[in-house]
Amino acid sequence: MSESQHYVLHVNGTLHEVGDAWIGESLLYVLRERLGLTGSKGACEQGECGSCSVLIDDELICSCLVLAASAIGQEVITIEGIAPVGSPTDVQQAFVDFGAVQCGFCTPGLIMAAHALLERTPEPTETEIREELSGNICRCTGYGRIIEAVQRVSVARAGRR
């Protein structure tokens, strides 16, 4: 396509050159289709489901609502960037152990949101968990086990402090 541009994105600590990309591509599209980082999921492309959540300069953001070419010079962290394959974080392990995963499509976005929540509020109340994760739609679990998983991590981390 003619309207292409060349730019560099900083993702998971690595600089990625993006060449010949159509300039209307969202960050979600570029992550998935050009950088091979398919952990971020797209389910609505309008910020109404949270499946594509990433951290941009430490803020939890829907990557579908970021024009990729405008994210130059920013630090993007995706689900692939928070732990090496096979070495899940405490939040990831808790999701597995406490039944927070069913189909798993919303899961990467929820993991990103849960990490962001626990960074900011290490010991959230149940209501705080519900509000802070309310931008992440899950269609399988009814959320009960997800809340349980986040609470378990919070308690475990408090115990270590």
Which of the residues 84 through 113 are near another protein (CB under 8 A)?
85-86, 88, 92-93, 95-99, 101-108, 111, 113
If binding is defined by CB under 8 A, does position 30 make contact with another protein?
no
Q: How far apart are CA 121 and CA 59, in angstroms?
A: 14
Closer CB to another protein, 97 or 157, in the complex? 97
- 8 A C-beta contact, residue 80 and residue 16: no
- Shortest distance (Å) from residue 88 CB to another protein: 6
Type of residue numbered 52: C
- 8 A C-beta contact, residue 129 and residue 112: no
Beta bridge partners of 54: 61
Could you list the beta-strand ranges (E) of 67-141. 75-77
Applying the rule CB under 8 A, the residues between 34 and 53 that interact with another protein are: 37-51, 53
Task: Out of 9, 76, 147, 153, point to the residue binding another protein (CB under 8 A).
Answer: 147
Closer CB to another protein, 5 or 155, in the complex? 5
